[in-house]
Structure 1
Amino acid sequence: MANLFRNIWSIFSRTRSLPPNPPNPPPPPLLDEPWLKLNWGDRENDLQFINNYKPKGEGHHQFRILLHGPVGAGKSSFINSVISALEAKISHRAFANTGQSSFTNEYKMYSIKKGNQGEMYPFVLNDMMGLKNLGRKYRRVYEKDMKMAMKGHIQDGYTFNPESALSKNNPLHYNKNPTINDKVHILVSVIDADSVNRLDKSVVEIIQDIRDEATELGIPHVAILTKIDEVHPEINKDVKNFCRSQELQKKVKDLSNLVGIPQNCIFPLKNYHSEMMLNDDMDALILKILRRIIEIGDEKLSS
């Protein structure tokens, strides 16, 4: 028993003498010159472009934006942010996820009211079930559902089943004859900036495979890098500071190398999530990104 107490005391003494963990190093200072130049005064021009936009082509009246990405990355928050910026009030239409499980289980389409006359914007945003570390079987199911969604075969309201992809024999949710308005016109991967260097290999491979499928279908692919305010405290103080953050610049480069999306098609963004009032600079960034998404997709429509 005496030996036992001596051993316990020895361990306790060594633990007490250990030096404290060193504090986390401070983030590198912001660059003197921005690595990305944005005209923050273009908000009204971007809003006018969005308000005046009409899809090209006969019978084409709806431009479809499909969002996908890891669980909790901010797909639903992006939808709420777009609606907030366009309707000039904080929106909660899409239920945003604050945990590790996917809140979105349905294939959900969001249309946005334009002004007070009941007119709708000619673009819609479609939300997908969030990506997580999937086994081989579930991965194949997710990819099949994604391909059907991009081709316009999945109807609004379909509940995703990780065990099996949507059946062609499902009369309620399988669209046998999709029109140009049902098909996806641009694919947007939504990824948490802080998670870029911690993405599971299987998630990266799924994003790459879906990118390949989109390319075969002629669908452009871009990415939104969310939660940029958590990368550097100065971005949290002022969202315009993201253009001078070395860490964020590196994350854009790393994501580009991981999944093959060009750096000028990766858009850093701060979503509305805790704010109770609109912010002019956040609105300006949201509208600029929405405009670029429309422009890139529309360019493919007219080619």
Structure 2
Amino acid sequence: MGNKESLEGVKDRASQKFKRKTTKKVDMTDALLDQPWRRSSWIPQEVHRKKQDLLRRITQYVPVGGVLPKARILLIGQVGVGKSSFVQSASLALGSSYQTMPGSAQYKSHQVKDTDGTALKFILSECRGLEPMGSGGIRTEDVANILKGHVGVSFQFKALQPGHNGKGFKRNPLLADKVHCLVYVLEAATMGDISQSLQKKIKAIQEQADELGIPELVLLTKVDEACPAVQEKLTEIYWSKSIAEKTQHVAELLDIPISHILPVKNHPRSRPDPSTDILVLTALYRMLHSADGFLEDLN
């Protein structure tokens, strides 16, 4: 999985170098670090420039190598963690729309479109693969089938046994059917409540992804619900002690580099917010970049 990275600037000094306005709701002194744990600029002009650059890169994205029509990103997580909300947020940030393809409650895919309705060169799929069996979850073997591209539109996930035959099972999947980047979706606010059984299931899926060489990222959702300072001001996300600690916890729990953990706040059902857009678009572009890394390794 690679070596874990250490957080940058997580030392909490008594005298803070940077002064911020406090509010009655949030004690910033206790909630924020002396130095950011990830570098980023939130100057309005810089945010606008960065957003335009991300929009250009994402809308003009073409899978590297010219051997694949579209990259496939798989978001895997429990019900309610924000998989579908991320797809919606990405669409809002892009100022476009998306179309959900035929599928099932356990596994479905979305085609994100450009502002003119043109289909972009990637597909965002989502899978309910982390719930316990009997609670809407699917077997690790079936997650492996998704990663390998065996799962078609009409595939039936069986509660008693993994499906290796029957309707919807692709025996000879194409590269386009396979997953090119795997993203674990976890709630920032509930990171401390991850059960041993869930950890075991994630580890089993990681082993499958490692064998296939599929890059893995973590989407850490609902960061505003995990930290009052971030809820008060989203641009404090990389200064937040709570988010820094949760990011470190995920890195250690899953043995994933901190740079592979992407904190986001999903859009509410309202007009897009520039700061939210930056986090969502940055995460989406990182997924596409990782998919390209996978395709390059194939060559």
Q: Fold match, TM over 0.5?
A: yes
Determine the C-alpha separation between the residues in 2 that align with 1:175 and 1:120: 24
* Aligned equivalent of 1:34: 36
Query: SS at 1:124's partner residue?
Result: strand
Amino acid at match of 1:165: P
| Larger Rg over CA atoms | 1
Change (3 A) 1:133 1:51: same
Determine the C-alpha separation between the residues in 2 that align with 1:165 and 1:81: 33
* Aligned equivalent of 2:292: 298
* Aligned equivalent of 1:3: none
Query: SS at 1:302's partner residue?
Result: helix
Determine the C-alpha separation between the residues in 1 that align with 2:194 and 2:156: 26
Q: What TM-score, normalized to structure 1?
A: 0.79
Determine the C-alpha separation between the residues in 1 that align with 2:96 and 2:236: 24
- Cα deviation 1:143-186 (Å, max 9, x = unaligned): 0110000001101354534333234222xx11222111111000
Amino acid at match of 1:82: A
- Which of 268, 276, 280 matches 1:286? 280
CA contact (8 A) 2:129 2:140 kept: no
* Aligned equivalent of 1:76: 84
* Aligned equivalent of 2:192: 197
- Cα deviation 1:102-140 (Å, max 9, x = unaligned): xx7242110111231x421110011112522448xx98x
Determine the C-alpha separation between the residues in 1 that align with 2:96 and 2:114: 11
Change (3 A) 1:88 1:113: closer
Q: Across the two proteins, how many residue pairs are aligned to each other?
A: 261
- Which of 34, 38, 60 matches 2:68? 60
CA contact (8 A) 2:182 2:217 kept: yes
How far is the alpha carbon of 1:34 from its aligned partner? 1.5
Amino acid at match of 1:85: A
Amino acid at match of 1:108: K
Determine the C-alpha separation between the residues in 2 that align with 1:263 and 1:108: 28
How large is the Cα RMSD of the aligned pairs?
2.3
Query: SS at 2:256's partner residue?
Result: coil
Change (3 A) 1:204 1:257: same
Q: What TM-score, normalized to structure 2?
A: 0.80
2:235 is equivalent to residue 233 of structure 1: no
